[in-house]
C-alpha cells in the first residue's frame, strides 16, 4: 500500500478529492497491461478494445512479468497508482495462447477476474472503417439464456457492461446512438456450473455494429434500423475464473443511502391496480365549531366583562401570593 499523503497545495487537494470515494462515482477507468509474452494479435486485440473505452483508458506499453491468477499484487498496485478499476491483461503462452484476462478491482483490491481465450479475431482495420466519435455510449445486446443462468456468464455480462458503458448520463442525445455491442452465447443454462473445466462452455461471440437508421416503410414514426459491422470481431472461450469474495462483493454492491429510493408513504396500489392514498387529517377542535347562529347562544357583553374580571381577579391572587415570598428572600 502507498502511504497516505496530506495534500500540499490546492491542485493536489482537488486531485485527491476526485479520487476519494463518492456517492456518485467517477466513470471507471481502464488499463491495458501486457504480459511478459504478448503477441501482436493480443496487442491488437487490446488496442481495439481500448478504442471503445476512450478517453478513460491507459495503454501500458512495457512488458510485465505478471501472472494474475498466481499473484495480483502488481496489478493492484497499477490500479491504485492510476486510479483505474478495470484492467485487461494480455498474454500468450504455450498452455494458454492469446488470452485476455479481464479484471475488476474494488477499493484497489481485485474483485473478480476471468480469462478469455481468443479463438477467432478480426481486427477493426479489417473492416471498412466507419468512424465513431470517441466517448459515445454504446448500446448493448446480450443474447442467450446462459447470460441469465450461468454465474460465469453473468460475470462476463456484468464486466462487459461495466467496461464499455462509459459515462453515466441522465440525458441522451439521440444523435449519440451510434453503435451496438452485441454479445451472444449459444447453449442453454443447463451446463454444469462448477465442473471446474471451462473448456466445454459455449464460446462468447463479441461483435460491434454501427447503427444506421432509415425511414420505415410503414406509417409508424420509429425508424428502421440497419447494422454494419465495424469490428473488432471476437470469439472468446472462457478460461480460468476467479469469482468475487462474497464479503467484498457485498461491500461493492452497497447502495449509498442517498441513492436508495425513498419509500413512498401513504400511497398504495390495491389489488385492482388503482392508486389509493391515505390522507391524515389533524384533530378537529370541536370548541371552535360554528353551529347554527341563534340569539340565545350569542355571547353577551356582560358575560365577556365578567370573564375578563375573573381573569384579573385571579391574577391579583397570584401576585399576592408571590409578593411575600420575594420579600422573604430579600430579608435573607
Partner 1 sequence: MSDSTSTQSVGSRPVTVERAVPVTYDLGNLAVFDTNMMDPEIMSSADEAKREEYLWSLARDSAQMLVNHVLALPVVTGGRTGGDVKHNDGVFVKLPDPTTQLPREKPVPVPKPLTKWEKFAKQKGITPKARNSGNQVYDEAKGEWVKKWGYKGKNQEEPWLVEVDENTENGGGEKSRKSGSGNKSKRAKRSSK
Considering only residues 167 to 196 of the shown chain, the ones binding partner 1 according to CB under 8 A are 168-175, 177, 180, 182, 184-188
- Of residues 28 through 87, those in contact with partner 1 by CB under 8 A are 28, 85
- Of residues 261 through 290, those in contact with partner 1 by CB under 8 A are none
Q: Identify the residue whose cell numbers are 428502421.
A: 224
159 close to 102: Cβ distance less than 8 angstroms:
yes
- Cis amide bond preceding 254, omega within 30: no
| Backbone region of residue 143 per phi and psi (left: phi > 0; alpha: psi in -120 to 50; beta: other values) | beta
SS3 (DSSP) at 137: coil
Compute the distance between CA of residue 103 and CA of residue 194 in angstroms, rounded to an integer: 20
CA nearest neighbour of 111 among 134, 131, 86: 86
- Of residues 148 through 167, those in contact with partner 1 by CB under 8 A are 148, 157-158, 161-162, 165
- Of residues 192 through 251, those in contact with partner 1 by CB under 8 A are 202, 205, 207, 209, 211, 213, 216-218, 220-227, 229, 244, 249, 251
| Minimum distance of partner 1 from residue 13's CB (angstroms) | 16
3 vs 254, which CB is nearer to partner 1? 254
- Of residues 106 through 145, those in contact with partner 1 by CB under 8 A are 106-107, 111, 137-145
Compute the distance between CA of residue 117 and CA of residue 199 in angstroms, rounded to an integer: 10
Candidate residues 9, 21, 199, 290; the one interacting with partner 1 per rule CB under 8 A: 21
Compute the distance between CA of residue 3 and CA of residue 10 in angstroms, rounded to an integer: 19
Kindly state whether residue 311 participates in binding partner 1, applying the rule CB under 8 A.
no
CA nearest neighbour of 180 among 207, 156, 160: 207
Candidate residues 102, 105, 153, 231; the one interacting with partner 1 per rule CB under 8 A: 105
Size of residue set near partner 1 by CB under 8 A: 71
| Minimum distance of partner 1 from residue 266's CB (angstroms) | 23
Amino acid at each position: 500500500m502507498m502511504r497516505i499523503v496530506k495534500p500540499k497545495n490546492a491542485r493536489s487537494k482537488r486531485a485527491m478529492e476526485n479520487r476519494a470515494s463518492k456517492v456518485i462515482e467517477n466513470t471507471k477507468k481502464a488499463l491495458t497491461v501486457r504480459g511478459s509474452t504478448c503477441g501482436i494479435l493480443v496487442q491488437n486485440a487490446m488496442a481495439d478494445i481500448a478504442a471503445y473505452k476512450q478517453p478513460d483508458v491507459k495503454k501500458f506499453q512495457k512488458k510485465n512479468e505478471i501472472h494474475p491468477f498466481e499473484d495480483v499484487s502488481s496489478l493492484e498496485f497499477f490500479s491504485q497508482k492510476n486510479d483505474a478499476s478495470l484492467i485487461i491483461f494480455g498474454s500468450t503462452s504455450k498452455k494458454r495462447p492469446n488470452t485476455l484476462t479481464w479484471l475488476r478491482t474494488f477499493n484497489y483490491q481485485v474483485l473478480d477476474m476471468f480469462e478469455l481465450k481468443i479463438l477467432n479475431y478480426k481486427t477493426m482495420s479489417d473492416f471498412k472503417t466507419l468512424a465513431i466519435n470517441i466517448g459515445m455510449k454504446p448500446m448493448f445486446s446480450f443474447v442467450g439464456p446462459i447470460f441469465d443462468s450461468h454465474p460465469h456468464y453473468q460475470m462476463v455480462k456484468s464486466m462487459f457492461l461495466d467496461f464499455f458503458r462509459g459515462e453515466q448520463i441522465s440525458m441522451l442525445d439521440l444523435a449519440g446512438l451510434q453503435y451496438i455491442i452485441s454479445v451472444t452465447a449459444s447453449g442453454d443454462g443447463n451446463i454444469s456450473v462448477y465442473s471446474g473445466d471451462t473448456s466445454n462452455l459455449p464460446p462468447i461471440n463479441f461483435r460491434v455494429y454501427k447503427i444506421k437508421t432509415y425511414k420505415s416503410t410503414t406509417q409508424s414514426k420509429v425508424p428502421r434500423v440497419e447494422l454494419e459491422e465495424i469490428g473488432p470481431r471476437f470469439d472468446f472461450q472462457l478460461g480460468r475464473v476467479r469469482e468475487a469474495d462474497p464479503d467484498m462483493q457485498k461491500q461493492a454492491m452497497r447502495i449509498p443511502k442517498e441513492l436508495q429510493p425513498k419509500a413512498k408513504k401513504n400511497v398504495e396500489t390495491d389489488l385492482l391496480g388503482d392508486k389509493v392514498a391515505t390522507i391524515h387529517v389533524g384533530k378537529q377542535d370541536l370548541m371552535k365549531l360554528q353551529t347554527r347562529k341563534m340569539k340565545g347562544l350569542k355571547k353577551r357583553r356582560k358575560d365577556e366583562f365578567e370573564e375578563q374580571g375573573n381573569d384579573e381577579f385571579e391574577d391579583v391572587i397570584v401576585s399576592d401570593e408571590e409578593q411575600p415570598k420575594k420579600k422573604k428572600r430579600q430579608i435573607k
